[in-house]
């Protein structure tokens, strides 16, 4: 007999909260066996490597000759504090028995620190903002003389 997955509704998570970010998060691969992401610090623009998986849970400055330097541990969020798409992803992974994915999501939706300037930031929010396409201010092009 096959397994079934029941999606439960939580009173703290609305459908609007869940739907924000779906196009972005649906397009990336998450496994957390050896995940690493690259993004720039939102405060000083230093390029950071974010590692989540068997090699640890940290942010670092990746040096070509010396590997990961200035390693700082990621601060995970508790499962109870997850909201929106993060909460939905966590609950779905936990209900499906994927404990490695559920555990990794607490780090991805937690906070990271920059090894250069020391600032703390919400990792998932910044990762999504830095990797989502910019939205045009006016998506409708005005008519031109040649459009008739």
Tens-place pLDDT, residues 8-38: 444 444 445 444 556 666 656 666 667 788 9
Among 24, 29, 23, 40, which Cα is nearest to 119's?
40
Q: Which residues pair with 51 in a beta bridge?
A: 36, 58
103 or 147, which is more confident:
103
Question: What pLDDT score does 132 carry?
Answer: 73
pLDDT value at 143 more than 80: no
Q: What is the DSSP string of the chain?
A: -----PPPP-TT--HHHHHTTHHHHHTS----SEEEEEEE-TTT--EEEEEEETTEEEEEEEETTTEEEEEEE-BPPPGGG--HHHHHHHHHHHHTT-HHHHHHHHHHTSEEE-TTT--EEEHHHHHHHHHSPPPPS--SPPP-GGG-
Q: What is the pLDDT of residues 49-97, one digit of tens each?
A: 999 988 899 999 988 899 889 999 999 999 999 999 899 999 999 999 9
Q: What is the pLDDT of residues 88-130, one digit of tens each?
A: 999 999 999 999 999 999 999 999 999 999 999 999 989 888 8
pTM: 0.73
User: Is 84:72 a contact under the CB 8 Å cutoff?
Assistant: no
Query: Structural domain boundaries of the chain?
Result: 22-132
Taking only Cα atoms into account, the Rg of the chain, rounded to an integer number of angstroms, comes to 19
Q: What is the pLDDT of residues 84-94, one digit of tens each?
A: 989 999 999 99
Q: Left, alpha or beta for 83 (phi > 0: left; psi -120 to 50: alpha)?
A: beta
Question: What pLDDT score does 31 carry?
Answer: 66
């Amino acid at each position: 007999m096959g397994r079934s997955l029941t999606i439960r509704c939580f009173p703290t998570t609305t459908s609007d909260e869940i739907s924000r970010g779906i196009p972005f998060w649906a397009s990336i691969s998450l496994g957390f066996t050896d995940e690493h992401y690259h993004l720039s610090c939102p405060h000083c623009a230093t390029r950071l490597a974010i590692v989540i998986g068997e090699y640890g849970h940290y942010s670092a400055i990746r040096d070509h000759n010396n590997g990961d330097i200035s390693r700082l541990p990621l601060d995970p969020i508790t499962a109870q504090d997850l909201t929106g798409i993060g909460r939905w992803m966590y609950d779905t992974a936990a209900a499906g028995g994927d404990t490695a994915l559920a555990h990794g999501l607490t780090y991805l939706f937690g906070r990271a620190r920059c090894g250069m300037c020391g600032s703390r930031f919400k990792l998932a929010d910044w990762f999504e903002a830095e990797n989502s396409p910019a939205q045009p201010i006016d998506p409708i092009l005005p008519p031109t003389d040649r459009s008739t």
